[in-house]
Structure 1
Amino acid sequence: MCGGVKAAAGRSVRTRLRDRLAASDPGLLRLTAGLRMVGSVALVLAVLALAGAGVAQLVAGAMTATVATFAIRERQRGAQAVTLALGLPVALVSVSLGAALNERVAVGDVFFVALIFCAVYARRFGDRGTALGLIGFQVYFLSLFIGASADELPGLWAALAVAFACSAVMRFAVVPVTPAGLLARLREAFRARLAQLVTAQVALLDADADEVDEALADVRTGTARLHETALMIQTRLEQGTSDASSARLVQRRIADAEITAERLGLLLLTARSAERADTLTLYLPGAPAPEAGRMSPPDEATAALRRDLLSLRSQVLYAGPGVEGTSIAHVRNRLLAYRDEENLPACPPALQDVFRVIGEAARAVMGLRIALGGPQDESDDTPATALSREELDAEDAAIDAGEEGEPAEQATGLRRPTTRAAVQVTVGSSLAIAGGELLSSQGWYWAVLTCWLVFINTESTGEILVKGYRRLVGTVLGVVAGIALATLVGGHAWTVFALILVLIFAMAFTAPLSYTLMSFFVTAMVGLLYTLLHTYSWEVLVLRVAETALGAACGVFAAALVLPVRTDRRTNELLATVLERLTEVTEAAVDQLSGGPAADLLDRARELDKALGELRAATQPLTHPVTPLRGRRDTARYVVALLETCAYHARSLAATAELLPTHPSIAADPRLRGAAARTVRNIATIAARVAGEDATAGIETGPSFASLLGGSGGDGASRYGRITGRVLRHLERLDEAVVGLARPLDVPLASDDRAVKAARSKDGSDTPGHRG
């Protein structure tokens, strides 16, 4: 076993646990949110208890601290401080109005509806408007929950002030998060997830015939998680780096590592089959591994391949700062040597491709090490390693800040999403108030809260329906848990508060993962709060379920009938955006590969990834397990998988194109522009069809890209030939995936369309009035 693997085996338990945590919670965002929230609530309870506050003040302080913690989403600490300072007067005014209007039912309901409209409309002013609107709504809801009165206001004001102060202490002193520190943790999470993906790829290599599909599913999951982390890093580069050049350096290194890891998984899959593996297999959930030509029993080449994959994993594990050693350098040098043809093992071409990409992955990991800020000891470098360093240094020197894109045109009036949502929530909340008071004059506000919450971070009717369903399921299960917990600890106030802290942490930690789980923990916590307020009963919790169901129904009703955004319309708009971004990336990459001017290709590729992520989220109502439309669900998954395949090849083209200015061994080929024109036209045709602009155009098919270029670029004897061949393969696969999109999106082939027209012309079927 090589030295790098032995070193990896000797890693401390603490280090392994740290990597597991970093991979499971990138940037420790969920852990930080949970610690901040629990710390704020615990500190508030301690301060108020020492001051002799009553139970109502304790509950008010705890709930306000929770709101003040999760409502603020700005990334700069100064902006967070300003929003937190503005939030306190908003909260004081809100609780005061709630207490004053508590006994004036009609006036209170009218004001509550107006407050809801303003709170939602405030989202148009960005993170600060969203936070202040959320604080205003939640604190008014708090006043209804505890039954606040005018006589209690001085004590409640004090409790709210303490809550905001404690939230500030936890945010800025006890659990601080700086943009640079968060970016560093996200980069560590990327490294840890990259190591997990390589581990899954080793398992794919070792899998027996009956285990390969499960191993492929793990590779697919690891690839998706790595991509998720790369996008999280992308969104925080501007705030977390000192200048634009540093941001682009990190972006380049992350992109290189991600793309190379994807290629490694695809080539491993190809090595297990008689023919090349379809890229779609790596992105379509449940797609089986290629059945033909399973890998032969282990021989010397496959044993070497497994050894080198484990060595690559050790390189990834030790890519963090402050790690170096002779064994690590030796393994790195050996893997980098695979980039030179003469060092490849004697084995079939498919396996040789895997060894080559392992060499490219080792280079990407070395670049990632530079981005992570580790020390660079060059004393043990071989010529191949020295060449890789020179290439990386040349790329770093060529990085510039790029240009700012033009701001997107904003919708106005009722077409603006925040205005439309404000109107919808206002209508839905009005219905929830009316229906809720019919169910109970005491607990009607739970229906309003549910109606409000199902509209947060949703755009279409289908998304609101799914979110309402998840909240109802979580509430039902939470009621059961609340009954059990209240029965066990009822009457022991501090035991109840301790359990509430546990549930608050669980709520904050699971919120980004599962809305159902978050609703479960919130409902269980509310059941315990009822015991503190001496209003707990089985009937109260059952009423909570009924009010939740009513609120969800009112939200869905308002979304469906008031300025509705149908799921089909939403997904079509996002699909058109994805296709537009795909066209931009492909066209710009091919133009640069053809000798055109340099462009911000990686930025454009990430814009494509962002648009694709939004489309994936919007299709959740179509792909939800309980949807009765199975065919539609399968089609949506297939289309998204095809688009992810397109995005992978577009990212790869962009990454290769960015090598041109710094690598004299890679030459531009002007013929690529003409060869790729068909693919670009096909993407534009599909986009026009989806947008309803052209219902007659069809996509084109034709000869392979290699034949269009006269077969050049297939020479594998030189690095130029390999790079050109790689570009052609990516263009070919991208073209195939685009053509594959035509069928589920009902876009005809141009040749088929011409044949149909010719047939109709022959038999007179296209004459006016013909019905066919």
Structure 2
Amino acid sequence: MWDRLAASDPGLLRLIAGLRTVAAIALTLVLLASLRFPVPQLVAGAMAAMAATFAVRETERAKQAVTVALALPVALASVSAGAVLNRWPLVSDVSFLLIIFAAVYLRRFGDRATGLGLIGFQVYFLSLFVRATPPMLPSLYIVITVAVGCSAFARFVLMPQTEAGTLDRLRRAFRARLGQLLGTQIELLDAGPDDVDKVVEDLRTGTARLHETALMIQGRLEGGASDDATARLVQRRVADAEIAAERLGLMLLTARSAERTDTLTLHLPGAQLPSGRMLPVRDPSTETMRRDLRALRLLVLRPVGETSGTALAQVRNRLLGYREEDNLPDASPAVQDVFRGIGEAARAVLGLRTALDGPQDESDDTPATSRSREELDAEDAAIEISEEPDPETPEETGLRRPTTRAAIQVAVGASLAIVGGELLSHQRWYWAVLTCWIVFINTTSTGEILVKGGRRLLGTVLGVVAGIGLAGAVGHHTWTAFALVLVCVFAMFYTAPLSYTLMSFFVTAALGLLYTLLNTYSMSVLVLRVEETALGAACGVITAAVVLPVRTDRRTNELLVAVLDKLAELTQAAVDQLSGRPHTDLVDQARELDQALADLHAATKPLTHPVTPLRSRRDTARYVVALLETCAYHGRALAATAELLPSNPSIAADPRLRGVCSRIVHNIEAIADHVRDPHSSAELETGPSIASMLEPGTLATPRWGRVTDRVLRHLQRLDEAVSGLARPLGVPVKVEAAKK
């Protein structure tokens, strides 16, 4: 059960955020109630505690403490401004707009400025919500001070969260998700013709979730690892395990069919599966394969500290033995490849266990296991820590700066929302402003804002229905209503990264309960909430489309070029190293490519949304992203193989590879040029297969150990995937090269 929880919420980040916020609010309510504060002040305290908790975004505890300390004076100044200026509506509106502009503009200065700006906005909104006046300020000062103090107590005492602890939980999540992926691969062996499509879809989901966790670990290594060498070691071992698991899935799909499985199958939803025979369920080699996949899964899920005896060591030795050709069962080449994949995955898991759990008992090692350990030790010793600072990306200035552009957009949108909101209600116009503000958070393009606004509206409508029911059930039972508010707050934080619609639902349901506590609940109030939400979303979308707009296709094109540039750099660097040139930092380059691809995937969500009317454009966007994920997989595999060269005695560089990737890199750059400028004269080159481009060599090493044969398949499929991008992106193909 713990593994399931760790897999569903990597690092327990959502769980801790929800529990911490609920704890801060509950402590605030208890303290204020013990001091005999009235219900409106309790509501203000709950809102202030929530804002002070979720606004702090730093990961280091010292930085969090400084931000929490600064949050109090910012909150007190904001509530003072709101209470004093409320008597002059025009001045209050202008002040609110200035706070909104400043809160968004300050994001350029980092997480602390972002958090303080968010607190300033939320507390000013709080003053409007509770209709603060100057005589209320002394009690509000006490309420906000108590709220910020309880937030700090919940953060630093009740539920402390360190970078090392978060990284450790992310490691557990990676283990759990890797175990789940292996479980799905076992299901693939037993799936019949009617079930195979569903199992393959689960395989795609499991592969994507494992990759997501690997990226999360990458983001936490700098602050969570004890030193740079440990961070590099964990980074490499996580990458090895991820690649080995994805490769094993492809081999299993190929073994189940008479045809070679394209890597695209694991990345494109609904991709057609290879046709052909199904692997016999009762074949001896299949029974052995099923047993060994279960053993591999056990090896992943069982940490060193939870093992005793020699049974697990014997299992490990048997799996690592498949790295030797003599230990492979008598079966078809495709099935033998699966056993080779199991052996390589076992080696990756051995390295992962050593990196995460420390040294292990080697007394029961077989010669094959000892050789694998020697290879891993040699790789660990070869890890080099780069002392060169990362090159700084030149910052955009003026209106091209994202924070400046967003600040102007939000200010204009909020102005429209204030005007429209006043027409709907002189008392609750601020709901439209809040919605306009929220739809701009973490969005860049017009399409993203449109999708977010629609989801917020849907969640609000559903939340109004729930709020009506809850308010009617609670009646005047104050503490029951507060308890339900806490449940809604926890659900809001726990579901926020998963579904913006669900988050909006729980927010609106909680507000219905708060209105009940303030004795302002009515059907008309909740209907007004829907109207103000729709107005705010419309103002946000209109502003994004008219004021300094960033079109979705422009944003996705910029990110697509970034992905292609990083793919070209990684491919060239990996092949250079495989050809014998000096060692470079390929793991970091691979992760930069992955992060760029994740940004592109997020930006294309408006294009791939299920309700989009542009079906062909949706299918094209999905296909392009899937092809790029395929390219990234082969790029990671090339980088991982190249990383073995300095330390692994069983493989050696092959100078013949130096000339075979020029066409791939040229084609990637041609596609990037065409995306930057549709009128570019760059053309795609085609020609013979990558393998046929190599001149005959005399390397007398075993097939599985020779670097050339390990790399050729990835280069060939990378070449095919890059060429596949030409049609959907409209890149012309060089006719002369095609004729040859």
Partner of 1:24: 8
Partner of 2:689: 704
Q: Which amino acid aligns with 1:572?
A: N
Over residues 255-298 of structure 1, what are the superposed CA-to-partner deviations in whole Å (9 max), with x where a residue is unaligned?
Answer: 00000000000000011111210100010011132122322343
Partner of 1:156: 140
Partner of 2:119: 135
Partner of 1:549: 534
Shift of 1:718: 4.3
Quick check: 1:322–1:375 contact (8 Å CA) kept in 2? no
Q: Check 1:753–1:470 CA distance in 2 against 1; reply closer, same or farther (3 A cut).
A: farther
Which range is displaced more, 313-322 or 299-308?
313-322
Quick check: 2:685–2:737 contact (8 Å CA) kept in 1? no
Partner of 2:212: 228
Partner of 1:295: 279
Q: Check 1:752–1:514 CA distance in 2 against 1; reply closer, same or farther (3 A cut).
A: farther
Shift of 1:693: 7.0
Quick check: 1:706–1:712 contact (8 Å CA) kept in 2? no
For 2:698 and 2:437, the matched residues in 1 are separated by 59
Partner of 2:546: 561
Partner of 1:284: 268
Partner of 1:432: 417
Gaps of 5+ in 2: none
Q: What's the TM-score, normalizing by structure 1?
A: 0.94
Q: Which amino acid aligns with 1:105?
A: P
Partner of 2:385: 401
Match of 1:334, SS state, is: helix
Partner of 1:124: 108
Partner of 2:639: 654
Shift of 1:726: 1.9
Partner of 1:603: 588
Partner of 2:150: 166
Partner of 2:370: 386
Quick check: 1:212–1:289 contact (8 Å CA) kept in 2? no
Over residues 94-135 of structure 1, what are the superposed CA-to-partner deviations in whole Å (9 max), with x where a residue is unaligned?
Answer: 001000111110110111111110010010011011101100
Correspondence for 2:51 among 67, 84, 94: 67
Partner of 1:766: none
Partner of 2:500: 515
Shift of 1:672: 0.9
For 1:710 and 1:518, the matched residues in 2 are separated by 59
Q: Which amino acid aligns with 2:210?
A: L
Partner of 1:747: 731
For 1:418 and 1:443, the matched residues in 2 are separated by 28
Correspondence for 1:43 among 27, 30, 33: 27
Q: How does 1:245-394 map to 2 (within 5 A)?
A: 245-319=229-303, 321-394=305-378
Quick check: 1:665–1:719 contact (8 Å CA) kept in 2? no
Q: Which amino acid aligns with 2:588?
A: D
Q: Find out whether 1:725 has 2:709 as its counterpart.
A: yes
Shift of 1:748: 1.2
Shift of 1:319: 3.5
For 2:680 and 2:699, the matched residues in 1 are separated by 39
For 1:207 and 1:245, the matched residues in 2 are separated by 43
For 1:394 and 1:65, the matched residues in 2 are separated by 52
Q: Find out whether 1:457 has 2:442 as its counterpart.
A: yes
Quick check: 1:496–1:528 contact (8 Å CA) kept in 2? yes
Quick check: 1:272–1:295 contact (8 Å CA) kept in 2? yes
Q: Which amino acid aligns with 2:171?
A: R
Which range is displaced more, 566-575 or 690-699?
690-699
Shift of 1:717: 3.5
Shift of 1:714: 9.9
Shift of 1:326: 0.6
Match of 1:591, SS state, is: helix
Which range is displaced more, 559-568 or 368-377?
368-377
Q: Find out whether 1:184 has 2:173 as its counterpart.
A: no
Q: Check 1:199–1:214 CA distance in 2 against 1; reply closer, same or farther (3 A cut).
A: same
Partner of 1:33: 17
Quick check: 1:183–1:236 contact (8 Å CA) kept in 2? yes
Shift of 1:635: 0.3
Over residues 7-41 of structure 1, what are the superposed CA-to-partner deviations in whole Å (9 max), with x where a residue is unaligned?
Answer: xxxxxxxxxx1111110110000010011000000
Partner of 1:642: 627
Quick check: 2:421–2:428 contact (8 Å CA) kept in 1? yes
Match of 1:427, SS state, is: helix
Match of 2:364, SS state, is: coil
Q: Find out whether 1:485 has 2:470 as its counterpart.
A: yes
Q: Check 1:694–1:670 CA distance in 2 against 1; reply closer, same or farther (3 A cut).
A: farther
For 2:380 and 2:359, the matched residues in 1 are separated by 16
For 2:403 and 2:288, the matched residues in 1 are separated by 58
Match of 2:390, SS state, is: coil
Correspondence for 2:657 among 669, 672, 688: 672
Q: Check 1:320–1:236 CA distance in 2 against 1; reply closer, same or farther (3 A cut).
A: farther
Partner of 1:501: 486
Q: Check 1:281–1:713 CA distance in 2 against 1; reply closer, same or farther (3 A cut).
A: farther
Q: What's the TM-score, normalizing by structure 2?
A: 0.98
Partner of 1:448: 433
Shift of 1:707: 1.1
Correspondence for 1:109 among 64, 69, 93: 93
For 1:636 and 1:272, the matched residues in 2 are separated by 29
Partner of 1:767: none
Shift of 1:474: 0.2
For 1:312 and 1:580, the matched residues in 2 are separated by 37
Quick check: 1:429–1:451 contact (8 Å CA) kept in 2? yes
Q: Which amino acid aligns with 1:466?
A: V
Over residues 617-645 of structure 1, what are the superposed CA-to-partner deviations in whole Å (9 max), with x where a residue is unaligned?
Answer: 00000000000000000000000000000
For 2:266 and 2:701, the matched residues in 1 are separated by 26
For 2:472 and 2:507, the matched residues in 1 are separated by 17
Q: Which amino acid aligns with 1:124?
A: R
Over residues 687-713 of structure 1, what are the superposed CA-to-partner deviations in whole Å (9 max), with x where a residue is unaligned?
Answer: 000011752221011111211113559
Shift of 1:323: 2.9
For 1:534 and 1:527, the matched residues in 2 are separated by 11
Q: Which amino acid aligns with 1:545?
A: V
Quick check: 2:573–2:584 contact (8 Å CA) kept in 1? yes
Partner of 2:458: 473
Match of 2:661, SS state, is: helix
Over residues 219-267 of structure 1, what are the superposed CA-to-partner deviations in whole Å (9 max), with x where a residue is unaligned?
Answer: 1100000000000000010000121111000001100000000000000
Shift of 1:46: 0.4
Over residues 302-329 of structure 1, what are the superposed CA-to-partner deviations in whole Å (9 max), with x where a residue is unaligned?
Answer: 1111111111011011135443431000
For 1:311 and 1:297, the matched residues in 2 are separated by 18
Q: Check 1:264–1:714 CA distance in 2 against 1; reply closer, same or farther (3 A cut).
A: farther
Quick check: 1:321–1:375 contact (8 Å CA) kept in 2? no
Q: Which amino acid aligns with 1:346?
A: D
Match of 2:691, SS state, is: helix
Q: Which amino acid aligns with 1:72?
A: V
Match of 2:313, SS state, is: helix
Partner of 1:594: 579
- Percent identity over the alignment is 68
Q: Which amino acid aligns with 1:690?
A: V
Q: Which amino acid aligns with 1:475?
A: T
Match of 2:660, SS state, is: helix
Match of 2:728, SS state, is: coil
Q: Which amino acid aligns with 2:661?
A: A
Quick check: 1:699–1:748 contact (8 Å CA) kept in 2? yes
Correspondence for 2:606 among 610, 614, 621: 621
Correspondence for 2:617 among 628, 632, 647: 632
What is the number of equivalent residue pairs in this alignment?
A: 738
Quick check: 2:166–2:224 contact (8 Å CA) kept in 1? yes
Q: Which amino acid aligns with 1:749?
A: V
Match of 1:380, SS state, is: coil
